[in-house]
Structure 1
């Protein structure tokens, strides 16, 4: 294949990607970041301060009131561990589709790691505890507390820490399948926790399939 044909193919591929990314992808989003922020703040205000499980149920109930069957009913059996970017925590998947995911993520004992570089915007609503963030070149941490929102723009990278107990509601909007290698790499090449790997694949595929059957991509 000569360079002219290769350049034509590359040009077509990039043009299609630009069209899908700019004009199609945003139309697939159903979650409003301001609505989610309101749900988080209202839930924190009414849930018993020391009962994190009650807070999880409160948030999930309010999410289902707004987004219906796009949100999986909360239960304590569907949590799974997650290792990514050298950080370890656990997560519950409320929603997963090609363009969005919405999860609880956090840790009971603290963790620290790399955010990863993603083809999606990430919105991290703190529910309990604190998240500390290190921006390159800034010698002081940015500290997010309950009710705060930490936004990681697509393509950006940070170091983050949850020094002690910390949980958050996390929304990602963008090309979600492109995020999966980051989410699986630590398990495949480091922890070798293939039970967790299988559970994560199962629930991710299940949620995405359910979304597609509802016409949500």
Structure 2
């Protein structure tokens, strides 16, 4: 392929991408960040302080009341490990589609790593523990505690740490397939944990296909 043909292809694709990204993508979102914040706050207020699983169940119940079957029912058997950006934790997929994912994510013992550089906005609602974040050029850490929401803007990256037991409700809105390589790369270049990769692909694909059949992309 010569440079002229490549330039023509790029010239055609860029406006298409701009249109899809600017005018189509936002219409696919169903989750409201303020609604999620209220659900988190209300659940934190009534859930037993020493029972994290009860908090997961309560949040999931409230999410399903608002969003119906687009949110998977919480099941403790469907947790999976996640290695990404040199950090390790575990997650439960509540929703996955082309434009959004909603998960419980965290760790019982702490972790640290790179947030990744993503084509999406990421909203991280702290349920238990603390998340620390380091923005380049800022000598002071950002510290997020239960009830706080850490908004990692699209195209932004940070160093982050969850220094001890920390759990969160995480929403990503954007081009979700573009985030998957970040979530898979550590398997091939570090952990070689293909069992976990298989579970991740299975639950992600299952949720995406189910939602597409419901008309949710």
For normalisation by structure 2, the TM-score amounts to 0.98
1:85 aligns with 2:75: no
Write the mapping of 1:4-43 to structure 2, written as runs, cut at 5 A: 4-43=4-43
Write the mapping of 1:1-217 to structure 2, written as runs, cut at 5 A: 1-217=1-217
Counterpart Cα distance in 2 of 1:15 and 1:150: 32
Counterpart Cα distance in 1 of 2:123 and 2:13: 29
**Which portions of structure 1, spanning 4 or more consecutive aligned residues, are displaced by more than 6 angstroms?**
none
Question: How much has 1:5 moved relative to structure 2?
Answer: 3.4
Counterpart Cα distance in 2 of 1:3 and 1:165: 53
Please give the root-mean-square deviation of Cα atoms over the aligned residues, in Å: 0.8
Question: How much has 1:111 moved relative to structure 2?
Answer: 0.2
Match of 2:31, SS state, is coil
Match of 1:109, SS state, is coil
Match of 1:73, SS state, is coil
Q: What do the CA deviations read for 1:126-158 (whole angstroms, capped 9, x no partner)?
A: 000000000111111110000000000111010
Counterpart Cα distance in 1 of 2:52 and 2:113: 23
Counterpart Cα distance in 1 of 2:216 and 2:181: 22
Counterpart Cα distance in 1 of 2:73 and 2:148: 24
Question: How much has 1:117 moved relative to structure 2?
Answer: 0.1
Match of 1:42, SS state, is helix
Counterpart Cα distance in 1 of 2:105 and 2:76: 13
Question: How much has 1:2 moved relative to structure 2?
Answer: 4.7
Counterpart Cα distance in 1 of 2:213 and 2:189: 33
Q: How many residues align?
A: 217
Counterpart Cα distance in 2 of 1:18 and 1:77: 40
Counterpart Cα distance in 2 of 1:7 and 1:138: 39
Counterpart Cα distance in 1 of 2:180 and 2:116: 11
Match of 1:90, SS state, is strand
Counterpart Cα distance in 2 of 1:100 and 1:46: 28
Counterpart Cα distance in 2 of 1:203 and 1:28: 21
